[in-house]
Structure 1
Amino acid sequence: MTSEWSFTQGGPEEDLRNEFKVGQHFRNKKEVMLAVKTYNIKRAVEYKIVCSDQCRYSAQCIQFGPGCNWSIHISYRRKVEKWEVRIYTGPPKCMQTSIGQDHCRLDSKMISQHIFTMVKTYPTISIKVLQGGVENHFGYKVSNRKVWLAKQIVIVSIYRDWKESYNELPRWLFAMQMYLPGTWVQLVTQPWLGSADFVIFHRDGNANILPIAFAVVEGEINEAWSFFLSYLRQHVTPQPGVLVISDKHKSIDGKLNANDSLWRPPHAFQLFCTRYIVANFITHFKNKNLKKVLINAVYLKSQREFPHYFGYLRGENEAITRWLEEMPSSQ
């Protein structure tokens, strides 16, 4: 006899009428333990393990006796190379734990098996969302810490330990330098407070946008931008006349326009990012139709066509063209 029901990771709710059956098979001991644990958690019953070794697994209700005789014995069958239910007495007759309270068997390891697929698909999924999924599936509201620990178990099982990955980083960076001549790496370490990614792109003559430098830093703060832009200027773009297109984030603007900056004329020239202009346009004028006209004007490839779009904007709302004309001509 094989199992006609199973406990799946994050799958549909199993029917509580399902019971273990003598002769029911499981592929391994891990599946046995998961099935017994899930069965009791879903029914708000606590149990104790009577015997557990390489070939046997037995459990019974923590109130085993006249009030409840729930028990199960599962052993490994060498003939079929599977674990088989040999003795079963159920269902349980007691309901010790109230639904909604935490269950002692619903630990982080158990939760990690349930949320594995969700975390693998969406690694940045929030603890709150995972907590809600656990509550919907098991009927218990577990603590944030327990769910956070469960997520860390999943992350480690997929991506390995953080320290291992960190220790491998220099080797991967060295490989980049070996196989991509001209690659320059600067590794600076400090206590972790969070993270942000900085990426610099280059647009070639065929309008292809290519990443040329990136950094993982603690956040979009003055020190981080200073570190990134300084090394970018020194090792990636030392030539004069570079055109920089960026938004007006205070940290970026402060570093680009510092008194000793090599990102100011005549060393380099600055332009506003189109997305920055359009976002501010919507904030000021809230007109989606004219936003499209502005985008078309910004992306024109010849000066000859520009007066047409600029004149159209002036005709629709003269305040728009005044707003554009007030922008620094160098940007």
Structure 2
Amino acid sequence: MLAVKRYSIKRATEYKIVESDQLRYNAQCIQFEPDCNWSILISYCRKQEKWEFRRYTGLYTCMQTSMGDKTIMYLPAMYNKLTENLSLGTWVQLVTHPCPGSADTVMFHRIFWTFPPCVEAFRHCKPLISIDGTHLNGKYDGTLLIAIAQDGNANILPIVFVVVEGETKEAWSFFLSYLRQHVTPQPEVLVISNKYKSIDGVLNAEGSLRKPPHAFQAFCTRHIIANFMTHFENKDLKKVLINTVYSKSQREFTHYFGRLRGKNVAITNWLEEMPRSQ
């Protein structure tokens, strides 16, 4: 897969993945038929316990360079644009890895950046941040992580941006450590997130400054409700859960929470996995 990527980059061409799983990898030129017949297929032979070429049509025959060169230039151009403003306070951390088989080439791994207006604005926002990630689409995989804040008028403000290899514990640690160092050093900041084990592991690690009394953790309502529907598919109880998490008093919360817990053991156990304070 790495060889296909490097060949495509060198030729400034685009390809698409037709099929990719534990047993097959099939890719072909984005201009496949009639302009180009480039394709490659490898599959895993269980008997011999090795990967084998099933099809390879040779070099690209098309001349298209529409998106390949632009995609190749995207990350370097983005990095250069960010570093132009370093003197104004923009902070960028780029991490690369050596490229296999090439002593003079490095591969992009992670990047973190934040802008001076974001850092300054957070000082005047509510002491909370919401963090989440989304998968990048296209030839190059990866995940965009982002943290947002909220001002007194409930306006949303993005404060940091990170591109990483995926939502791993190491990636979230990279994200949260630089976030705290450069944007949210204040004590008692509330961190709102999905109930990912990777995030939870970083926030509650031994010696972490992202857990009480330094900081506090809460779970995102939208994610909680989505997870509830995945497990139980009950629209009526979904409304009760929404009323529970938006309760404005302990009495109101106890009323709705009791209705949920009284339904069945499975729902009770699911709810008890989350501390009520979160």
Regarding TM over 0.5, the answer is yes
- Aligned-partner SS, 1:154: coil
Note the 1:212-251 alignment, pairs <5 A: 212-251=159-198
Residues 251 and 321 (structure 1), Cα distance of their counterparts in 2 relative to 1, 3 Å cut = closer
- 1:245 shift after superposition: 1.0
Q: What secondary structure sits across from 2:157 in the alignment?
A: strand
- Equivalent position of 1:171 in the other structure: 80
String of CA shifts for 1:50-92, please: whole Å, max 9, x gaps: xxxxxxxxxxxxxxxxxxxxxxxxxxxxxxxxxxxxxxxxxxx
Matches of 2:82 and 2:239, distance apart in 1: 43
Q: Against the structure 1 CA distance between its residues 169 and 314, is the aligned structure 2 distance closer, same or farther, given a 3 Å change threshold?
A: closer
Q: Residue 285 of structure 1 is aligned with which of 232, 252, 255?
A: 232
State the distance in 2 between where 1:305 and 1:221 align. 37
1:154 matched residue in structure 2: 66
1:199, 1:215 within 8 Å by CA — same for their partners in 2?
yes
| Aligned residues of 1:310 and 1:321 also touching (Cα < 8 A) | no
1:327 aligns with 2:274: yes
1:127 matches 2:17:
yes
Contact 1:127 1:147 in 2 (8 A): no
Aligned to 2:134: none
- The alpha-carbon deviation at position 260 of structure 1 amounts to 1.3
Q: Root-mean-square deviation (CA), in Å?
A: 4.0
Structure 1 position 187 matched with structure 2 position 94: yes
- How far 1:187 sits from its partner (Å)? 2.2
Structure 1: segments with no counterpart, 5+ residues = 1-107, 120-124
Q: 1:189 to 1:142 in 2, by over 3 A?
A: closer
Contact 2:29–2:38 (CA under 8 A) maintained in structure 1: no
Is 1:246–1:271's contact at 8 Å kept on the other side of the alignment? yes
Specify the SS of the correspondent of 1:211: strand
Structure 2 counterpart SS, 1:200: strand
Deviation at 1:221, TM superposition (A): 2.3
Change in CA separation of 1:319 and 1:225 when aligned onto 2, cut-off 3 Å: closer
In the other structure, the counterpart of 1:66 is none
* Partner-residue secondary structure (3-state), 2:83: helix
Determine the structure 1 residue equivalent to 2:117.
none
Q: What SS does the corresponding residue of 2:91 show, helix, strand or coil?
A: coil
Aligned partners of 2:58 and 2:156: how far apart in 1? 40
1:176, CA displacement in angstroms? 4.6
2:39 alignment counterpart? 143
User: For residues 156-189 of structure 1, what are the alpha-carbon distances to aligned partners after superposition, in whole Å with 9 as ceiling and x for unaligned?
Assistant: 35x26x2x444434431134546xx553222222
Q: Which has the larger radius of gyration?
A: 1
Whether contact under 8 Å (2:192, 2:217) holds in the other structure is yes
Letter in structure 1 aligned against 2:174: F
Q: Aligned-pair distance for 1:266?
A: 0.3
| Cα distance change on mapping 1:142 and 1:231 into 2, 3 Å | closer
Larger strand proportion, structure 1 or 2? 2
- Aligned ranges 1:250-289 → 2 under 5 Å: 250-289=197-236
